[in-house]
Structure 1
Amino acid sequence: MTELALFDLDHTLLPIDSDYEWGQFLVRTGAVDAAEFKRRNDAFFAQYQAGTLDPVEYLEFALGTLARYPRRELDTMHAQFMDEVIKPAIRPRAVELLQKHHDAGHLVGIITATNRYVTAPIARALGVEHLIAAEPEEDAQGNLTGRLVGTPTQGPGKVEHMHAWLDRLGHRFDQFERSHFYSDSHNDLPLLSVVSHPVATNPNATLASHAARLGWPSLHLFND
């Protein structure tokens, strides 16, 4: 493998935020107290968009919600979430972009601040084997405890986790002739600034401005 291709997930490969939509799904299905959960979920989402989110605080909130349910019940809810929310949101151009890198023999991975429990089935649906995500702790029975393992995969944390993931695979970042990272958000500037080929993908206004100043290409997957 001579090239590395990494992708953010929410608003990059998907036209939605999977973490936020999972919360909305729990509200709609009555799995959580609607008013309180929506208030907190909306506040965290606004902080994320503004670049002020405390990732540990948010993950403790999100994982604490997941920990309320036995794993079997949680998995049933997640399967419904995939059918009703995620699969209809998958767009052909995003799948084609991933396939282009797969066909070229690149090492392809998704790297997201959203936790692995929510995102692992999404990565599989997109045909991506490798996922770097926030890691929820599990007990001996496979139930989620509500605690985070390690550090969040957000901002500079994505760079740290990328290197650790490559090391586990027996690779080094500097061995790749080219490295690509596709993201929509200025929150990902640390990793976008490290790779050789950053691509502002469906970029928010802050990232679009930054990309224009530096001459980074912009890609819009969801305009059609």
Structure 2
Amino acid sequence: MNLALFDLDHTLLPIDSDYEWGQFLCRQGAVDAAAFARRNDQFFAQYQAGTLDPVEYLEFALGTLATFEPEHLAALQQQFMAEVIEPNIKPVARALLQRHLDAGDMVAIVTATNHFVTAPIAKAFGVDHLIAAMPEIVDGRITGRLGGKPTQGEGKILHTKAWLEQMGKTLEHFDNVYFYSDSHNDLPLLSIVSHPVATNPNAVLTRHANERGWALLQLFND
């Protein structure tokens, strides 16, 4: 059996779901639009530059979720999926996933974005396994704190290995391990799999992939 791991934002999606969720909340008037957008833009710029503190960002995002009643959050989530995510799920990304599923590969999405935002996206893609940043939940409510460690950078290795261990497996159990990602922030995990695929890569990852002879893939050229 092979293992196929996929980053989500700008890899399977041509957008950043985390950033777009913030923009969606602003459009809905659910948050102070000016203050939230300014802070969200700062974090997004840090992410692109590779300087983001993942805990600081996640607790900013999760703190916003904690202000809503669960029923309100569920309604916003459903609207976000319909208005923002589903129009950005492209046939070419579905086809890439389906090739691995049809081959009998184990498929997982491994994302630094929080589980609340990404769980319905993974479901929409037909992917059963999701490794994402987990919010702390107490009495059915998101508290605003991060539960455990971030799933960014080296954290993707930590969480992927822990997920496999729960099934009695390691990376070495698989004939081939693929990881598709757009970002140099994922170099730790890309560097330990047998088949790293720089997918819609940014400039830093493109240069790194070319130097090492990694596969390059552009999904969204159109």
Counterparts of 1:66-77 in structure 2, within 5 Å, are 66-77=65-76
- Tell me the SS of whatever aligns to 2:172: helix
Aligned counterparts of 2:141 and 2:80: Cα–Cα separation in 1: 19
Match of 2:179 among 181, 198, 201: 181
Aligned counterparts of 1:107 and 1:208: Cα–Cα separation in 2: 26
- Output the TM-score relative to the length of structure 1: 0.98
Shift of 1:169: 1.8
- Which residue of 2 is the match for residue 113 of structure 1? 112
- Which residue of 2 is the match for residue 172 of structure 1? 170
Shift of 1:170: 2.0
Aligned counterparts of 1:153 and 1:169: Cα–Cα separation in 2: 19
What are the Cα deviations for residues 43-64 of structure 1, in whole angstroms up to 9, with x where unaligned? 0000000000000000010000
Aligned counterparts of 1:169 and 1:19: Cα–Cα separation in 2: 29
- Unpaired runs of 5+ residues, structure 1, are none
Aligned counterparts of 1:170 and 1:117: Cα–Cα separation in 2: 27
Shift of 1:171: 1.3
Shift of 1:72: 0.8
1:8 aligns with 2:4: no
Shift of 1:144: 0.6
- Which residue of 2 is the match for residue 37 of structure 1? 36
Amino acid at match of 2:159: H
- Which residue of 2 is the match for residue 55 of structure 1? 54
- Output the TM-score relative to the length of structure 2: 0.99
Q: How many residues get paired? A: 222
- Which residue of 2 is the match for residue 83 of structure 1? 82
- Which residue of 2 is the match for residue 158 of structure 1? 156
- Unpaired runs of 5+ residues, structure 2, are none
Question: What percent identity do the matched residue pairs reach?
Answer: 68
Aligned counterparts of 1:188 and 1:169: Cα–Cα separation in 2: 24
- Tell me the SS of whatever aligns to 1:131: strand
Shift of 1:87: 0.1
What are the Cα deviations for residues 97-122 of structure 1, in whole angstroms up to 9, with x where unaligned? 00000000001000000000000000
What are the Cα deviations for residues 40-91 of structure 1, in whole angstroms up to 9, with x where unaligned? 0000000000000000000010000000001111000010000000000010
Aligned counterparts of 1:170 and 1:204: Cα–Cα separation in 2: 35
- Tell me the SS of whatever aligns to 1:32: coil
- Which residue of 2 is the match for residue 127 of structure 1? 126
Match of 1:198 among 196, 199, 218: 196
Where has structure 1 moved over 2 Å in runs of 4 or more? Answer: none
Amino acid at match of 2:216: S
